[in-house]
Amino acid sequence: MSPEITQDLTAEEQEQLECVYAKPETLTETRFHYCPGCGHSVVHRVLMEVVEELDIQDKTIGIAPVGCSVFAYHYMNIDMQGAAHGRASAVATAVKRLLPDRYVFAYQGDGDLAAIGTAETIHTCNRGENIMIVFINNAIYGMTGGQMAPTTLLGMKTSTSPTGRTVETAGFPIMITNMIAMLPGVAYVTRQSVETPNAVRQLKKAFTKGFQYQKEHKGTCFIEVVSNCPSGWKMTPLQANKWLVENMFPVYPPGDIKVPA
């Protein structure tokens, strides 16, 4: 290990350097409670960067789920509601219908969105509610300690699939995003991730588009983020991201699934 170098900016550096990246103002001072390396907080930050850049902090209302991101409103410096488990899109529907000129998004985990909230998710999208749904797919129930999710991969061990998920007991991992993409009311469907700088840049573009389309009344925008859960997966953050690329991507390949005409 090389000797440590000055960690603060020197006077000279202060003069010559300009800040090109800092935590956005749209995040509060509160430290994230997430486990080390968890993708949730990256997504939070990127989302808030976009809100900052589009200058829509005063017009954006977010809906937090029940899941590890239940406290999203502690971090995102915007008006938010915490929905009951699975119902974020129903809550978002009402907010948007009653405040149609606001930007509304629901932020949900895979248990929340694709298990208990399946009906609300599908009908919100089928109605083409003019909102953005951010879907964090980490293939596990993070918050409750690592149970199988509907998106858990086959063979994956979790506390409720101790010998690995099997088709016989639990069926295949559900491709909810692809089902959603079929619905005519849905304008934009994309699958993103946050395990590399480039992935983060792509996600940012996706969020920007999502808000743009919402402004243009194009219909529902659905953004899946294939994410990790180092704690639930019982891996280090680096292992988790590697595992994600090797195992999640083959089943949930990143990329646009539907774009507006």
End-to-end Cα distance, the chain:
53
Per rule CB under 8 A, is residue 122 in the interface with its own copies? yes
Per rule CB under 8 A, is residue 117 in the interface with its own copies? yes
- In angstroms, rounded to a whole number, what is the distance separating the alpha carbons of residues 10 and 243? 40
- In angstroms, rounded to a whole number, what is the distance separating the alpha carbons of residues 166 and 156? 9
Per rule CB under 8 A, is residue 118 in the interface with its own copies? yes
| Residue 229 token pair | 């859960």
Q: In sequence order, what DSSP letters do the residues of 159-197 get, joined into one string?
A: TTBTT---HHHH-SPP-HHHHHHT-TTEEEEEEEE-SSH
Of the listed pieces 78-86, 108-116, 186-194, 247-255, which binds Mg ion according to CB under 5 A? Answer: 108-116
Question: Is the CB of 97 or the CB of 201 nearer to its own copies?
Answer: 97
Q: Which residues 169-198 are close enough to bind its own copies by CB under 8 A? A: 170-172, 174-175, 178-179, 182-185
Q: Which residues 120-139 are close enough to bind ligand SF4 by CB under 6 A? A: 138
3-class DSSP assignment, residue 98: helix
Question: Is the CB of 35 or the CB of 54 nearer to ligand SF4?
Answer: 35
Q: How far is the CB of 150 from ligand TPP (least distance, A)?
A: 9
Per rule CB under 6 A, is residue 86 in the interface with ligand SF4? no
- Of these partners, Mg ion, ligand SF4, its own copies, none, which one is at the site of residue 63 (CB under 5 to 8 Å by kind)? none
How many other C-beta atoms are found inside a 10 Å radius of the C-beta of residue 168? 6
Residue 70, amino acid: V
Paired with 134 in beta bridges are 107, 223
- In angstroms, rounded to a whole number, what is the distance separating the alpha carbons of residues 37 and 44? 13
Per rule CB under 5 A, is residue 151 in the interface with Mg ion? no
Q: Quick one: which of 111, 173, 230, 254 contacts ligand SF4 (CB under 6 A)?
A: 230
What does the binding site for ligand TPP look like in residue numbers (CB under 6 A)?
66-69, 85, 109-112, 136, 138, 140-144, 149, 229
* Contacts to ligand SF4 by CB under 6 A: 34-35, 38, 40, 68, 138, 142-143, 229-232
